[in-house]
């Protein structure tokens, strides 16, 4: 077992604080803030897949992406219940992990070249963020 890195704990704390602040914003506005990336290390991707919401970030790990993702039901806040799943996986550069929802929708998270980024992809194409009003 490896000792926990101080920077890792700071990153986890920052992402946790961000997710809590977004949850309070969501409860107030009923709009989910999305950040589709691509992102660098310790920066979050926030998106939806079907009836699920996803918060994902990565840490560089010897030329690979150590991906961390939390997936939860978007209706949980309305019902006052919380059920979330955490996924951790190491991706080689250009490898993709697929996260599916119950209604057969999928998001793809891809580790960038030299583990310099993490991005949402659609069949190998990057998805770009667009502001909606």
pLDDT tens per residue across span 2-22: 555 666 656 555 555 555 555
Distance CA 101, CA 71 (A): 9
Distance CA 37, CA 32 (A): 15
| Nearest of 86, 61, 60, 62 to residue 72 by alpha carbon | 86
Element housing 28 (H / E): helix 6-29
- Strands in 45-49's sheet, in edge-to-edge order, are 45-49, 52-61, 64-73, 84-91
| Nearest of 77, 74, 68, 128 to residue 97 by alpha carbon | 68
SS3 content of the chain, % helix, strand, coil (to 5): 25, 40, 35
- What's residue 22's pLDDT? 52
Report the range of poorest mean pLDDT among 56-60, 78-82, 103-107: 78-82
On the question of pLDDT at 45 being above 50, the answer is: yes
Which of the four pLDDT bands, split at 50, 70 and 90, describes residue 92? very high
């Amino acid at each position: 077992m490896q000792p926990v890195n101080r920077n890792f704990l700071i990153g986890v704390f920052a992402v946790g604080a961000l997710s809590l602040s977004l949850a309070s914003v969501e409860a107030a506005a009923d709009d989910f803030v999305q950040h589709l990336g691509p992102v660098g290390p310790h920066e979050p991707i926030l998106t939806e897949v079907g009836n699920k919401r996803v918060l994902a970030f990565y840490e560089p790990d010897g030329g690979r992406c150590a991906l961390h993702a939390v997936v939860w039901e978007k209706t949980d806040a309305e019902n006052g219940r919380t059920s979330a799943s955490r996924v951790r996986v190491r991706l080689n550069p250009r490898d993709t992990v697929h996260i599916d929802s119950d209604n057969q929708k999928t998001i793809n998270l891809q580790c960038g070249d030299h583990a310099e980024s993490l991005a949402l992809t659609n069949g190998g194409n990057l998805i770009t963020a667009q502001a909606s009003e």
